[in-house]
Structures are given as C-alpha cells and as structure tokens.
Amino acid sequence: MLVREMDTNDLDEVWEIEHESFSKPWSKSSFIQSMSEVNNFYLVVVKDGKVVGYCGCWGILDEGHICNVAVKESVRRQGVGILMLKELISHAQARGIRSLTLEVRESNMPAINLYKKLGFTVAGMRKDFYTRPQENAIIMWRREMQ
Ligand SMILES: CC(C)(COP(=O)(O)OP(=O)(O)OC[C@H]1O[C@@H](n2cnc3c(N)ncnc32)[C@H](O)[C@@H]1OP(=O)(O)O)[C@@H](O)C(=O)NCCC(=O)NCCS
C-alpha cells in the first residue's frame, strides 16, 4: 500500500467511497475547493492501483483539523485507516502543526477506537452537531506533538 497526496484525478474513486461512507457526502467540487487551500492537505491510500482510503487536514496556525476520513467498505479492518492517519500526523508535524482535532459521531465506535489508538482523547461534545440522523459530536484532540 502507498500513501500519497490526493490530486484531482483521484476524485472519481474518492467520490465513490465518500458516497458509501457518509449520509451527507461531499461533492467533487467541495474537495477541489478544499484541496486548493494552501494550508490544507489531503492524502489517499492506494492498493493494487486503486484508491482505498483518504483523509484531509485543514491547518490553522499550529493546529490541524482532521476531516473526510474514510476507507473503502470492502477493505475496512485491514489497517488502512491507521496507516493513513499515521501518515497524516507525520505530514502535519512536518508543516509545524502541534495539535490535531476532529469531530466524530458519538455512535461511531470504529472511528473513535481508531482515533484513541492514535493518541486522541475526548475533550468535549457538540450537541446535535450532525443531521441525517441527528446526533451529538464527540470532540477529540491530540495535543503537543513533537
Ligand atoms: C473509521 C474507519 C476509517 C476505520 O478504517 P479501517 O481501515 O477499517 O481501520 P483499521 O483497520 O486501520 O483499524 C484500526 C483500529 O480502529 C479500530 N476499529 C476499526 N474498525 C473497527 C470496528 N469495526 N469496530 C471497532 N473498532 C474498530 C480498532 O481499534 C482498530 O484496531 P484493531 O484492528 O487493532 O482492533 C472506517 O471504518 C470508515 O471508513 N468508516 C466510515 C467513515 C467514517 O466513519 N469515517 C470517520 C468519520 S469521523
């Protein structure tokens, strides 16, 4: 498996994973706009020539907000998620980011377990943050990276 920066040629495959993963998927144009922001970066995982996962990070000063984390349904639970997020953390550190944060649905145990495994801890909750279905968000942080 290879982890590299996402480019616009990946978006057809990313869009398919986005649609099977989220009830309110992002459009390709939302990805294009976000990828073009100089402080943001997006990574893809490629396996046998196919995109099987992706994640993004929006940088604000020395903090990074992780977004759009998803792995293709047919290859989940094979270490793709942890691989790409470890790489995201390295990329973030190289850009001078010292703390990372994210929101996650409070029922999303696969993702919460994944983030805890990477050193993220629960820092708070945003009530009814999500719609379709309505649900609270758990806020997690990984602070003071070297
Ligand atoms: C969350 C997600 C990205 C995990 O990706 P993945 O490639 O399956 O994760 P990995 O195989 O790297 O698993 C790493 C760890 O995450 C946790 N985990 C992953 N899937 C899990 C599951 N179904 N149940 C419980 N824990 C799980 C475990 O701690 C696992 O470590 P282990 O295998 O040693 O127990 C994937 O399930 C996904 O795309 N979900 C839909 C989209 C989504 O919810 N994104 C997150 C939005 S905040």
Q: Which fold has domain 2-101?
A: Aminopeptidase (3.40.630)
Token code pair at residue 119: 């050193």
Q: Is 103 a catalytic residue?
A: yes
Whether 138 and 122 have beta carbons less than 8 Å apart is answered as: yes
The model's pLDDT over 87-124, given as tens digits with 9 standing for 90+, comes to 999 999 999 999 999 999 999 999 999 999 999 999 99
Reported as half-sphere exposure (CB side, CA atoms, 13 A), residue 61 has a value of 1
Rounded Cα distance, 68 and 57, in Å: 8
pTM above 0.85, yes or no: yes
42 is catalytic: no
Q: How far apart are CA 32 and CA 93, in angstroms?
A: 24
What is the Å distance from ligand 1's center to 10 Cα?
22
Q: Whose CA is nearest to atom 16 of ligand 1?
A: 114
Residue 111 Cα to ligand 1 midpoint, Å, equals: 5
Neighbours of 113 (CB within 10 A): 11
**Nearest to 86, CA basis, from 22, 142, 36:** 142
Domain boundaries, the chain: 2-101
Of 141, 96, 137, 136, the closest CA to residue 118 belongs to 141
Angle, CA 129 vertex, CA 124 and CA 134 arms, to 5°: 125
Tens digit of pLDDT for each residue in 50-73? 999 999 999 999 999 999 999 999
* Alpha-carbon span 125 to 141, nearest angstrom: 12
For ligand 1, which residues put their CB under 6 angstroms from it? 21, 69-71, 76-82, 104, 108-111, 113-114, 117
